[in-house]
Amino acid sequence: MKKIRVGILGATGMVGQQFVSLLQDHPWFEITALAASEKSAGKPYVEAVQWVQSEPLPEAVADLPVREARPGLPCEVVFSGLDASAAESIERAFADAGYAVISNARNYRMHPKVPLLVPEVNPNHIELIRRQQEGHPKRGFIVTNPNCSTTGLVLGVLPLWRRFGIRRMLVTTLQAVSGAGFPGLPAMQMLGNVLPHIRGEAEKIQTEPRKLFGSLEGDRVRAAEIQIGAQCNRVPVLNGHLISVSLELRQQATLDAVRETLRQFVSPLAEWNLPSAPPQPVRFVEDPFAPQPARDLMADGGMTVTVGQLAPCPVLDYRLVILVHNTIRGAAGGAILNAEWLHVNGYL
């Protein structure tokens, strides 16, 4: 089988590097283009990048020339790890030029024609793509994945959402520093400290799930009726966001029923054999001290969220804690899974 040629926009940044790491040896995709800012363009990747992943830079891409981020790249699909400041115009340009743009940036997430996609959650939202393609002979499009915390949240509660419905959720996050990119936060602020605010984050967590859990009606997504309140903290952890949730179900359920629903959940994508889709996207644990970033983060290569601390809540119905790998499932890995889902559905 011939691999699909993919390019990476923002290839020298943190998310771009994660794309490079996760796409090496991918069975379906092959990196054929790396693009970054003008000042990197022209250099071999190994010279343009300040590599900050824990595994070494893959040799296959070390000598790939870095190109400018504009249409003309030798590939059909582009993964975008661009900053929000650059993503808006560049992603639009690639879509207009006929590329499939699989973006991790926030810019188009809430656009009514753009799927905000977690394939286990809202697989059919990819039909929105047709609205983007209407009247465009080149048939390019943009698909986005949510904010890293949103991804963890919607996946972690997905079994309960499906079975019982959820009316309200109160969320407090403990987020890792890698979520702020590189260089990101100063060591002087984070050593032995917590920052009780992350700019724009609570708003995303309060908004994006309504689209993700929304129903596709005709050619638009109708937002789900769910109230979410969030407060976000940055903690001195390298990778792995913890999300503490208290939720109110639509339909009453016993603690046992909630526990079994979480425990028995299997991936709705199981039959598709997507390379990056974990068989159990929600891993339910009962160890009294789980989930922990240091112990549970790499389950299924970082693509599974771990849920623990299930308990009745004296205010709403139940509490639980979700752990998500913010740079894998919550960013590059989530985008790659999106591309896989698009591929088996004939969009790439």
β pairing state of 227-234 and 241-249:
unpaired
Using rule CB under 8 A, residue 303 touches a copy of itself: no
CA-CA distance, 303 to 300, in Å (whole number)? 6
Q: Smallest distance from the beta carbon of 318 to a copy of itself, in angstroms?
A: 10
Q: Which is nearer to a copy of itself, 278 or 291 (CB)?
A: 291
Per CB under 8 A, the segment of 114-122, 142-150, 259-267, 284-292 that binds a copy of itself is: 284-292
Q: Smallest distance from the beta carbon of 344 to a copy of itself, in angstroms?
A: 30
Among 17, 309, 326, 338, binds a copy of itself (CB under 8 A): 309
Torsion on CA atoms 220, 225, 231, 236, rounded to nearest 10: -60
Among 313, 343, 345, 348, binds a copy of itself (CB under 8 A): 313
Catalytic position from the list 241, 313, 325, 343: 241
Query: H or E element: which one contains 133?
Result: helix 129-133
Q: Which is nearer to a copy of itself, 77 or 174 (CB)?
A: 174
Query: Distance between the two ends of the chain, CA-based, in angstroms?
Result: 15
Residues 177, 183, 189, CA angle at the centre, nearest 5°? 55
Q: Smallest distance from the beta carbon of 2 to a copy of itself, in angstroms?
A: 33
Is there a contact between 35 and 9 (Cβ–Cβ < 8 Å)?
Answer: yes
Per CB under 8 A, the segment of 33-41, 112-120, 148-156, 191-199 that binds a copy of itself is: 191-199
90-127: burial string, b at 16+ Cβ within 10 Å, e else: bbeebbeeebbbbbbbbbbbbeebbbbbbbbbbbebbe
Binders of a copy of itself among residues 157 to 176 (CB under 8 A) are 168-170, 172, 174
What are the tokens at 27?
């069975």
Using rule CB under 8 A, residue 59 touches a copy of itself: no
Among 270, 298, 344, 348, binds a copy of itself (CB under 8 A): 298
| 197 flagged as catalytic | no
Binders of a copy of itself among residues 212 to 251 (CB under 8 A) are 227-229, 231, 233, 235-238, 242, 244, 246
Catalytic position from the list 148, 197, 325, 343: 148
Q: Smallest distance from the beta carbon of 312 to a copy of itself, in angstroms?
A: 9
Q: Smallest distance from the beta carbon of 302 to a copy of itself, in angstroms?
A: 12
Q: Smallest distance from the beta carbon of 252 to a copy of itself, in angstroms?
A: 17
CA distances from 217 to 127, 201, 214, 222, 226 (A): 11, 28, 9, 7, 18
Using rule CB under 8 A, residue 337 touches a copy of itself: no
CA-CA distance, 214 to 121, in Å (whole number)? 10
Task: Please give the size of the binding site for a copy of itself, defined by CB under 8 A.
Answer: 59
Binders of a copy of itself among residues 83 to 142 (CB under 8 A) are none
CA-CA distance, 34 to 58, in Å (whole number)? 13
CA-CA distance, 64 to 338, in Å (whole number)? 25
Instruction: State the DSSP string of 219-281.
Output: TEEEPP--EEEEEEEE-S-SS-EEEEEEEEESS---HHHHHHHHHT---TTGGG--TT--S-S
Sheet strands side by side (includes 227-234): 227-234, 166-175, 241-249, 318-324, 305-312, 282-284
Inter-axis angle of helices 14-23 and 333-344, nearest 10: 50
Among 135, 137, 188, 217, binds a copy of itself (CB under 8 A): 188
| 241 flagged as catalytic | yes
Q: Which residues bind a copy of itself (CB under 8 A)?
A: 52, 54-55, 168-170, 172, 174, 177-178, 182-197, 199, 202, 206, 227-229, 231, 233, 235-238, 242, 244, 246, 288-295, 298, 308-309, 311, 313-316, 319, 321
